[in-house]
Structure 1
Amino acid sequence: MSARTIIVTGAFGTLGSVVATAFADAGDKVARVDYAPAPDQPLDGGIDLGGKDLSDADTAKAVVAEVAEKLGSIDVLVNIAGGFVWETLDDGDTATWQRMFALNAMTCANMCKAALPELMKASGAHIVNIGAKGALAADAGMGSYGASKSAVHKLTESLAAEMSGKDITVNAILPTIIDTEANRKDMPDADFSEWVKPQAIADVIMFLASDKARAINGALVPVSRGA
């Protein structure tokens, strides 16, 4: 099987780095895209596009065009780019809601729209979005984040229905707290064994982006087991 072209957004972060490496290790060509200027570690067999604000639709279009030009047709899009804020409405600012929607919902929508023409040229294309289990029932301080991730869920379901009958699947995974260095620093008293490991998430993404998952479309897959 020839190498596929994979776009991973938010690819310079902890989860994105693990996901990008998993695809590269499988022999795929990976375009790592991030708002940050550069990754901490190099990755062979692909390209890095740093300093990209994907909440801007024109930037997303330019990213897709560059990847298609340099790596060929696009087979898989993994939307990891996003952000998190814990803030109550009473003590916070409604501007946080705009920021969360820009970081989580609009980056995803812009990249999906920009990549669709290329993805529909591919055989067996896949989109995998990152939602959040916490968006199913938002706790205190989780309103803006939960609402923006809920938008990702509905985008996933709607786009999957739009693509029905075409050779492309659209799914999302809904992780609980991810075991990252930043989260451990923010919540030092938590039980880290209950948190989901980035590699476990990468395994689920790899499955949803494979031919074995060709019959799964429009699914919101919880990923909640510490493993």
Structure 2
Amino acid sequence: MQRVVVVSGGFGTLGRAVGNAFAADGWSVALLDRAPAPDASTQDRQWLLGDVDLTDLGSARKAMLSVVERVGPLNALINVAGGFRWETLADSNLETWDVMYQMNVRTAVTASRAALEHFANGAEGARIVNVGAGAALRASTGMGAYAASKAGVLRFTEALADEVKDRGMTVNAVLPGVIDTPQNRKDMPDADFSRWVQPADIAAVILFLTTPCASAVTGASIPIAGRL
């Protein structure tokens, strides 16, 4: 039976890792992103859909409908889309707090709202997994706006899990530590990269949360911290 997953923020390092994990497991994958789609808009079991503004419900609905018309009803949504800003409060532009909310909370809320209309079997067995952050549990200097927005993702996860539990659907979050990405290596060149969490390891946990083995897990926030 065909299984369909949508991955928001699908063109980034973690989004691509998640898409690859699901494709390798036999899923049909739709990668959504605000960036334009690369020239090769279709890869192995993966469809790349760009120019999707996931802060806008109309844009999100149009994207989800496009996926359903192309590959069929959804079985899972993985909300990877988000962003990071390091900024102390004393030196901050308070608009950063709004930007972090839009990028990290609103994208997850809007994509989930749009996806609810298109899950197979009335959402029985459907899965939503949100990407939070370890900083949502304990923030440090310069991470106030980011951590607050990621904490919002956790509360949203819990609320939606409770809302849809009687439909046979689960909603969970993963909380990565520092992810080993090219951008993070550039920003922190003196760090011990070997202690960071690999995108493929995060993707493996996300994939597990969509399996029948995880059907009793909902409303959870699972740390994936590497060796930090």
Global fold match (TM > 0.5) = yes
Question: CA shift at 1:39, angstroms?
Answer: 4.1
Identity, % of aligned positions: 48
Determine helix, strand or coil for the equivalent of 1:53: coil
CA–CA distance in structure 2, aligned partners of residues 197 and 157 of structure 1: 26
| Residues 152-192 of structure 1 deviation map (CA, whole Å, 9 limit, x = unaligned) | 00000000000122111000000100001110010000111
**Partner residue, 2:56:** 56
Normalised TM-score (structure 1): 0.95
CA–CA distance in structure 2, aligned partners of residues 122 and 70 of structure 1: 19
For structure 2, the residue ranges without an aligned partner over 5 or more in a row are none
Give yes or no for contact 2:134–2:177 (8 Å, CA) kept in 1. Answer: yes
**Partner residue, 1:154:** 155
**Partner residue, 2:178:** 177
**Partner residue, 2:27:** 28
Question: CA shift at 1:52, angstroms?
Answer: 1.1
Of 207-216 and 52-61, deviating more is: 52-61
Determine helix, strand or coil for the equivalent of 1:85: coil
Determine helix, strand or coil for the equivalent of 2:6: strand
RMSD between superposed Cα atoms in Å: 1.5
Question: CA shift at 1:40, angstroms?
Answer: 8.2
**Partner residue, 2:97:** 97
CA–CA distance in structure 1, aligned partners of residues 86 and 39 of structure 2: 27
Give yes or no for contact 1:126–1:209 (8 Å, CA) kept in 2. Answer: yes
Displaced runs of 4 or more, over 6 A: none
Q: 1:155 to 1:148 in 2, by over 3 A?
A: same
Q: How many residues align?
A: 226
The equivalences for 1:100-139 within 5 A come to 100-119=100-119, 121-139=122-140
Of 137-146 and 111-120, deviating more is: 111-120
Question: CA shift at 1:128, angstroms?
Answer: 0.3
Give yes or no for contact 1:138–1:146 (8 Å, CA) kept in 2. Answer: yes
Amino acid paired to 1:88: T
Normalised TM-score (structure 2): 0.95
